[in-house]
Chain A
Amino acid sequence: MTSMTMIQALNSALDVMMSRDPKVLTFGEDVGYFGGVFRVTEHLQQKYGAKRCFDAPINECGIAATAIGMAVYGLRPVIEIQFADYMYPAYDQIVSEAARIRYRSAGDYTVPMTVRMPYGGGIFGGQTHSQSPEALFTHVAGLKTVIPATPYDAKGLLIAAIEDDDPVIFLEPKRVYNGPFDGRRDKPVQPWSKHPASEVPEGYYSIPLGKAQVVREGGDLTMLAYGTMVHVALAAAEDSGIDAEVIDLRTLAPVDIEAIVKSVSKTGRCVIVHEATRTSGYGAELAALVQEHCFYQLEAPIARVTGYDTPYPHALEWEYFPTPPRIIKAMRRVMES
């Protein structure tokens, strides 16, 4: 076990998989010699050579499409889209192609590719470096969508994503790359080294896709979160004095319905937290699922705490993304009704 940041854990996952399987290779903008703008691919080119870790032209469509071709050939490419906000030129290739090639060819061709993308706000990145586009992927048949919240999960889930025989969208909450940011404005972010989930095995392990994790047990209400918001939800639970159960979904599609149903059936109350805009956001799907599966156990309306339905505002980002006070307000509302 070594204490790692999420960046180091992701790097370790790539390292482990590249050393185990010559079919694994990685590329993207600034990914090669430089090791990526967030350093996730650092030293991989030096270790595995330029043919297995290389820079790509600034063309996300081309990055996704060539990875599809490689996956069709039989490789397991892992591509980096530098920011999830840059994904849109690749969207057609991901949605109309990668996601459907198995289906449209009746299993003749498959696309075992992983698309890594740093996402989310809180870094003063403005409109084009802060978005959370997960719902644009969870809506698409044929894709799996994964979002880790800790270094331990990041490594185990990335390895599982690379080993998966279907295309996996792997969204990395960049606000917690270097520490478990919890949305408390008055407290500095702790380094990962002080967090138990930063203890990461150096070798191979994987965490199955489609399995959520209860990260805080509680009896009063259930909070559903993923990525950075897991830590914000935990802080809210702590500060609220409400005995909340916090579930880190880890995989958004296919989602772990059993974990959700089990918790909400127990607590009877549910608060959903995400950074993305609210309307047609992933929280709407979660709310619908909870309503479908737990209606008769619910004691109160389901609450959503999300980013507002505006573009990401640079100067007002602290007012935009959910913070513990906003979540606590929703928790109280849910407890009181």
Chain B
Amino acid sequence: MTGRNALDLHVPAPRARPGDTPDFSGWSFPEPGDTPRPDVDTPAAELRDFAYGLIRVLDMEGAALGRWAPRLDADTLRRGLKTMLLTRAFDERMHRAQRQGKTSFYMQCQGEEAISIAQAMALAPDDMCFPSYRQQGILIARGYPLVDMMHQIYSNRLDPMKGRQLPVMYSSKKDGFFTISGNLATQVPQAVGWAMASAYSGDGRIASTWLGEGSTAEGDFHAAMTFAGVYRAPVIVNVVNNQWAISSFQGIAGGENTTFAARGVGYGVPALRVDGNDFLAVYAVMQWAAERARSNLGPTLIEHFTYRAGPHSTSDDPARYRPADEARAWPLGDPIERLKAHLIRVGEWSEDQHRAAQEEAIDTVRAAGRDAEKVGVLGVEGAHEIGSMFEDVYKEMPWHLQRQRDEAGA
């Protein structure tokens, strides 16, 4: 055949692999403070540019700039910073606990603390969260006891999930925190349904949900965006673009072609792209989206542009697929360092206070850890009655499960 080109299959690959120098060259971002803040009732069609930009408030020296600056009082900012420190200390201890054989599995959110924590703080306490597995910051921000999280991670006698779930798959209805699934993106259309139910019931509560950029490729995300757009559900869909889905860089999910926020454009859902390591910008964007949902104006998609500084989980070794120092080279810094710099800059924080807060966080986690380990770590015999395995499959135990429970010797 003449006149036909030989076709070539494109398989995306990241710029840098182990041994290479991290390469973020050519990435350009709008300057902090440069992005205008539209009114919440602006039609989606007029907001398209926001899907391709990047909302930033903090510059790298800690100054808060522009109309997106949320003007939070110093106490709120200090609370945000301390919650991030506490979350990081918690992660460090529990990651180590897994290495020490105290549990089977753990997942840190290192580098992504601002996202869950600023967002939880921007929501009302009774707004409903449908998180993925890396938003432990929501629970911590809402005051859920660290020791109960640890009981869950250790699957011990006091585990609120009765030892049934993989570590970090928390659930707390009273804290508006949906039971975490290990399946990806399933929670996103569920959050849309919850929000539809809230609107149907004439409730004032809204829903928020989180997924990684990698799992936007799941059909569930398309389902969620379709339903959210069609029924104008009061829901906020957060795509946490931390660049890595286990070992697959964001290009494997389509990130080479456009932004993840741009997914919203096709559904007619306003989409904002925000610097996920900028506590103030994340807070402000969440406030905007929440106000929009509460005003019956429907859903918002937020892409949080960030970097997964740790491994995917304790079962993962990122040294095998990305440069070891890529996190340090991330051009948008670390969320804790950046909020700290801001608070110091405005005279509301100091290096000494920071050190003290870090120590306090470590002490708090250590104390909770001691209490949890006293109750037991994974594998302690007799932590759960065998019979408990058969409970909660149904509201009432049917005959066949009663029989199997007897067979199991319970």
Chain A positions within 8 Å of B, measured between CB atoms, are 25, 51, 56-57, 59, 61-62, 65-70, 72-75, 77, 89, 92-93, 96-97, 101-110, 141-142, 144, 165-166, 210, 254-255, 257
| B395 neighbours in A (Cβ, 8 Å) | 102, 110, 165-166
Name the residue on B nearest A67 (C-beta).
B193
A200 to chain B minimum Cβ distance, whole angstroms, is 28
Most chain A beta-carbon neighbours within 10 Å: one of B196, B219, B226, B393: B196
Residues of chain B having any CB pair with chain A under 8 Å = 128, 130, 160-162, 164-165, 169, 171-173, 178-179, 181, 183, 186, 188-198, 200-201, 207, 219-220, 222-224, 226-227, 230, 391-395, 398-400
User: Which of B164, B165, B181, B196 lies in contact with A96, CB distance below 8 A?
Assistant: B181
Residue of A nearest to B395 (CB): A165
A108 to B173, CA, bound (A): 6
Q: List 23 A-B contacts (CB under 8 A).
A: A51-B200, A57-B227, A57-B230, A59-B223, A59-B226, A62-B220, A62-B227, A65-B190, A69-B194, A70-B197, A70-B200, A72-B178, A74-B197, A75-B197, A75-B200, A77-B193, A93-B220, A105-B161, A106-B160, A106-B162, A108-B173, A109-B171, A109-B178
Q: Which residues of B contact A61 (CB under 8 A)?
A: 189, 219-220, 223
Shortest distance from the beta carbon of B401 to any chain A beta carbon, whole Å: 8
Within the complex, what minimum Cβ distance (angstroms) separates A98 from chain B? 10
- Complex interface: chain B residues within 8 A of A106 (CB): 160-162, 164, 171, 392
Q: Quick check: A104 and B196 within 8 Å, CB to CB? A: no
Residues of chain B lying within 8 A (CB to CB) of residue A210: 398
Q: Are B197 and A108 in contact, with the CB atoms below 8 A?
A: no
| Cβ-defined contact, B183 with A69, below 8 A | no
Task: Give the CA-CA distance A107 to B128 in the complex, in Å.
Answer: 18
Among residues of B, the one whose C-beta sits closest to the C-beta of A97 is: B186
- Please, how many angstroms separate the alpha-carbon atoms of A75 and B198 in the complex? 10
Known: A61-B223, A62-B227, A68-B193. A73 touches B201 (CB 8 A): yes
Q: A59 and B222 in contact (CB under 8 A), knowing A68-B193, A257-B399?
A: yes
Interface centre among A66, A104, A106 (most CB of B within 10 A): A66
A31 smallest CB distance to B (angstroms): 14
Residue of B nearest to A112 (CB): B395
Q: Contact: B394 with A142, CB < 8 Å?
A: yes
Chain B residue contacts of A65, Cβ below 8 A: 186, 188-190, 192-193, 220, 223-224
Given that A73-B201, A142-B394, A254-B399 are contacting pairs, would A104 and B226 also be in contact in the complex, using a CB cutoff of 8 Å? no
Chain B contacts of A142 at CB under 8 A? 393-394
Which B residues are CB-close (under 8 A) to A102?
Answer: 392-395
Complex Cα distance, B245 from A207, in Å, reads: 49
Residue pair B171, A93 in contact (C-beta under 8 Å): no
- Whether the Cβ atoms of B179 and A109 lie closer than 8 Å is yes
* A96-B186 CB under 8 A given contacts A57-B230, A104-B179, A107-B392: yes
Q: How far is the CA of A188 from the CA of B165 in the complex (A)?
A: 55
Q: A62-B189, A210-B398 are in contact. Are A97 and B161 (CB under 8 A)?
A: no
Report, nearest first, the 9 A-B pairs whose CB atoms are least far apart. A69-B193, A66-B193, A62-B223, A65-B189, A73-B197, A254-B398, A105-B179, A69-B194, A69-B190
CA distance A74 to B128 in the complex (A): 13
Q: Smallest distance from the beta carbon of B138 to chain A beta carbons, Å?
A: 16
A101 to B179, CA, bound (A): 7
A257 CA / B190 CA spacing, docked (Å): 35
Q: A72-B193, A75-B197 are in contact. List 8 more A-B contacts (CB 8 A).
A: A25-B200, A51-B200, A72-B178, A92-B183, A102-B392, A104-B181, A109-B178, A110-B395
Residues of B within 8 Å of A74, CB to CB, are 197, 201
Chain A residues positioned under 8 Å from B186 (CB to CB)? 65, 92-93, 96-97
A56, A73, A141: most-surrounded residue (chain B CB, <10 A): A73
Closest Cβ neighbor of B200 among chain A residues: A51
Q: Cβ of B201: which chain A residues have Cβ within 8 Å of it?
A: 73-75
Contacts of B197 in A (CB 8 A): 69-70, 73-75
> Which residue of chain A has the shortest Cβ distance to B130 in the bound complex?
A69
Minimum Cβ distance to chain B for residue A19 (Å): 17
Q: A62-B189, A66-B192, A68-B193 are in contact. Are A104 and B161 (CB under 8 A)?
A: yes
Question: Which chain B residues border A107 with CB–CB below 8 Å?
Answer: 391-392
Contact A104 B165 (CB under 8 A): yes
Bound: A113/B317 CA distance, A: 41
Which of A75, A105, A165 has the most chain B CB within a 10 Å cutoff?
A105
Residues in B whose Cβ lies below 8 Å from that of A75: 197, 200-201
Please, how many angstroms separate the alpha-carbon atoms of A194 and B381 in the complex? 63
Residue of B nearest to A107 (CB): B392
**Residue pair A104, B169 in contact (C-beta under 8 Å):** yes
Q: Which A residues are in CB contact (< 8 Å) with B173? A: 105, 108-109
- CA of A82 to CA of B96, assembled, Å: 50
On chain A, the residues within 8 Å of B183 by CB distance are 92, 96-97
Residues in A neighbouring B189, C-beta threshold 8 A:
61-62, 65-66, 69, 93
CB neighbours of B161 from chain A (8 A): 104-106
How far apart are the CA atoms of A25 and B193 in the complex, in Å? 12
Closest chain B CB from A143 CB (angstroms): 9
Bound-state CA distance A142–B164 (Å) is 14
Q: Give A255 to B191 CA distance when docked, in angstroms.
A: 33
**A residues less than 8 Å from B190 (CB atoms):** 65-66, 68-69, 72, 93, 97
* Distance A77 CA – B189 CA, assembled complex (angstroms): 15
Chain B CB within 10 Å, residue with most, of A25, A61, A96, A101: A61
A65, A89, A97 interface centre (most CB from chain B within 10 Å): A65
A65 and B130 CA atoms in complex are apart in Å by 12
> Which of B179, B219, B393, B400 has the most chain A CB within a 10 Å cutoff?
B179
Known: A92-B186, A254-B400. A66 touches B164 (CB 8 A): no
Residue in B closest to A65 when the chains form the complex, CB atoms? B189
- Is B200's CB under 8 angstroms from A144's CB? no
Q: Which residue of A lies closest to B207 (CB)?
A: A69
Q: Give the complex CA separation of A97 and B398 in angstroms.
A: 20
**Shortest beta-carbon distance from A129 to chain B in Å:** 22
Given contacts A69-B192, A165-B395, A108 and B224 within 8 Å (CB-CB): no
Of B194, B223, B394, B398, the residue contacting A72 (CB under 8 A) is B194
Contact A69 B196 (CB under 8 A): yes
| Interface contact B394-A166, CB-CB below 8 Å | yes
B-side contacts of A68, CB under 8 Å: 190, 193
**Bound state CA distance, A237 and B160, in angstroms?**
54
Residue of A nearest to B388 (CB): A106
- Which of A106, A109, A257 counts the most chain B CB atoms within 10 A? A106
Chain B residue at smallest Cβ distance from A257: B399
